Amino acid sequence: MKTTDKQTGRTAGCGGGHDGGEHADIIIVGGGPVGALAALRFAAAGRRVLLVEARAKNAPLTDARALALSWHSRTALAAAAAWPDDLPASVIDTVHVSQQGAFGRTRLDCADLKLPHLGVVVDYPALTLAINAQLEQAGVQVWWQTRVEAVNSLGCYASVKTSGVHGDISLTARLVVLAEGGALADSLPGIKRLVHDYQQCAVLAEVTTEQPPAGIAYERFSRQGPFALLPHGDHYMLVWTRTPADAKALQEAADEQVMAELQQAFGERQGKVLAIGPRSSFPLALRQVNRVSSGRVVLIGNAAQTMHPVAAQGLNLGLRDAIGLTDALNEVSDPGDAAALAVYAASRKLDSHAVVGFTHGLIKLFDGDSALVSALRGAGMSALDSVPPLRRAFARHLVFGL
């Protein structure tokens, strides 16, 4: 019978394990929120973890995104001490879903689930700084400014070839976790990636409305494309799905023109649109792998799937991947054990496929512009809103997954 030291990851019967380079129980590639949460949870469970991140530790964070996290995600980060009490965030108590120019709406409320809030909105740089501080506080080893050039899975360990400030070094581990969202997994045996280009871009901008957010987030399906207005301090963060040409035009247009277009699409639920900030955009595509493990390599977060931002499910799904993986391996001596990874993959399949299918289906459902399609959409939203058990179940899935 094989035995393993949980700290070193060395397994009797595996011939000593590695090729003489640096070795860890688990190597995590990608230091974003998903990879970092996995590292913190593994370290808390006594694993010897090495986190590899391409950016410099103190590199300026210019990412304009405001992240919409479910209350479940926020609770998981807080449990890992990665959510300090003074982290600037805006709460979401209510989500109002509607469509432009037609009846029907759904209103989801935290009271339906007996939660303090449905979720929170936090700026990516603020969350990243808080997570980095906790990685250091917890003593997690992080190799900053280190790129992973290749990953290979062998019988008793996986190898990682890196370049960066540490030089060109080969690392080994019992398990390699890819959380970086890049193309590293494409060379792994058995991994294939479904890619669907939506031919759309998400336009981001801060918006000031006459009435402050007061904990209300909006998901609105307009004729030009779906958009979300997320509470962001005393303002809203707009995430508007548009064609690439529209996105370019919105970035270059005068503020008054964009404000008028948004006002027409949104109406006056928050009063007048008073101001809009600089616009940025990024292209949208669906990417999902056919399987989340190959030998001693496992994929979580953006490495496993990226999706349309409608309903703000992508990061929440990735954080649930991190939680699910660490839970699945909690009592397993060898974290790269094939049976344990199969259990993890099975446990995440329903949630990931349901969420990806849900977001992809929403885009297809609200793409049609006919009166009949609009009426059917409205009837569906009204039915969901008027049947409390159905509405609560829907809200629960958005917050906690499946």
What is the mean predicted confidence (pLDDT) over 275-296?
A: 94
Greater confidence, 386 or 241? 241
Query: Is a pLDDT exceeding 80 seen at residue 381?
Result: no
Give Cα 22 distance to the centre of its chain.
Answer: 30
pLDDT for the residue 368: 60
Percentage of the chain exceeding pLDDT 70: 92
Distance CA 13, CA 10 (A): 9
- With 50 as the cut, is the pLDDT of residue 128 above it? yes
Check residue 357 and give its pLDDT: 83
Strands (E), 111-154: 119-123, 141-143, 146-153
How much is the pLDDT for 187?
Answer: 86
- Is 90-124+197-284+369-400 a CATH 3.40.190.100 domain? no
The whole-angstrom separation of Cα 119 and Cα 142 is 29
| Averaged pLDDT, 364-372 | 66
The residue that leads in pLDDT, 225 or 179, is 179
Q: Where are the domains of the chain?
A: 22-62+125-194+287-361, 90-124+197-284+369-400
User: pLDDT digits over 10-47, tens only?
Assistant: 443 454 444 446 889 999 999 999 999 999 999 999 99
97: left (phi over 0), alpha (psi -120 to 50) or beta: beta
Q: Are 295 and 172 in contact (CB under 8 A)?
A: no
Compute the distance between CA of residue 191 and CA of residue 185 in angstroms, rounded to an integer: 7
User: Residue 345: phi, psi to the nearest 5?
Assistant: -60, -45
With a cut of 80, say whether residue 364 has pLDDT above it. Answer: no
What was the pLDDT predicted at 19? 47
* Mean pLDDT rounded to a whole number for the chain: 89
Band (354; pLDDT cuts 50, 70, 90): confident
Q: What percent of the chain has pLDDT over 90?
A: 67
What number of H helices and E strands is found in the chain? 9, 20
pLDDT tens-digit series, residues 59-99: 888 777 899 999 999 999 999 999 999 999 999 999 999 88
Mean pLDDT, rounded, for 136-163: 95
Equal CATH topology for 22-62+125-194+287-361 and 90-124+197-284+369-400: no
Q: How confident is the model at residue 366 (pLDDT cuts 50, 70, 90)?
A: low
22-62+125-194+287-361: what fold? FAD/NAD(P)-binding domain (3.50.50)
**What is the Cβ-side half-sphere exposure of residue 5, based on CA atoms within 13 angstroms?**
10
pLDDT tens by residue, 297-323: 999 999 999 988 877 788 999 999 999
pLDDT in tens, 211-220: 999 999 999 9
The predicted model scores a pTM of 0.90
The pLDDT of residue 198 is above 50: yes
- Residue range 385-402: mean pLDDT, rounded: 81
The answer to whether residue 134 scores a pLDDT higher than 90 is yes
Look at residue 367 in the predicted model and tell me its pLDDT: 66
